[in-house]
Amino acid sequence: MQRRFYTLMLAALAGVVWLGTASTAQATFQARITTTAGSQTIQDGGVGDLDGFVNNSITVNYGDTAYNLIGTISFTNSPGNASKAILDVSYNVNTFGTTGGAASLEVSSTGFTQPSQNPLTLTSTVNGNGSGPGSIQFQQWANTSDTLFGHGPITPGIQGPFSTNGSYGSTATTTFSQSGPYSITDLVSFNLSRDSNTSGDSQSVVTSPAPAGLVLAAAGCPVFGLGFLRRFRKAKVAIA
């Protein structure tokens, strides 16, 4: 009996350790910059993150002989909330006195578990402006395997390329279903000539439909109001 008691205690302790490990697992949030002259990957709160904290926000300044400044402030609300999951990437790029060429800014966050009601909708919104010759395009993904920098399988498609000599913008959507954690990745690809610049924002938002009960309640509100108004009028007539 005593041996059985100790066995059960050990099993219970093992379960507590396992639960503790699972509950403290954290999502990964990274930004990755690549040009023809170099590259850098920055972890939230790691080397290169100028705010220095693990806070779902990454602030970066990067420069090399191709692009002398790539500034970005990216944020996420992973694991999301009941209304939305969001990944937002702002950028400020110039090639003043440098060579320019093909380059990319990619930001990815794992561990999204909300919103949870299928079907989910991924909305990709991009906008920006600039001056000087060059082009820019965007693509955003929800990865149902929760892979960092996972390209697919869910995407609204490529937006662009747009000319960076002026303003640009686009919105695209797609739907998907998910039964576990997923990741979101935003990719901004640009190709600027020498002495050009562009700045803007790329945002991924995942939403789910309103609960059926809430929709019915909202739909019934005007009916309830009209019924109350009719009863009020009848009562007024009776009194008169």
92, with CB counted inside 10 A (0-12, 13-18, 19+), is middle
Tell me the pTM.
0.78
Please tell me whether residue 155 adopts helix, strand or coil conformation.
coil
Find the length of the chain. Answer: 240
Hunting for tokens 């990865």 — which residue is that?
A: 143
pLDDT, position 134: 98
Query: Which residues of the chain fall short of a pLDDT of 50?
Result: 1-25, 212-219, 223-229, 231-239
In the chain, % of residues over pLDDT 70: 76
pLDDT for the residue numbered 211 = 59
Query: Given this model, what pLDDT does residue 21 score?
Result: 34
Report domain extents, the chain.
29-214
Domain 29-214 in this protein, CATH class: mainly beta
Residues β-bridged to residue 43 = 30
Provide the pLDDT for residue 26. Answer: 64
In the prediction, which pLDDT does 154 show? 96
pLDDT at residue 195, as a whole number: 96
- How far apart (Å, rounded) are the C-alpha atoms in residues 115 and 81? 6
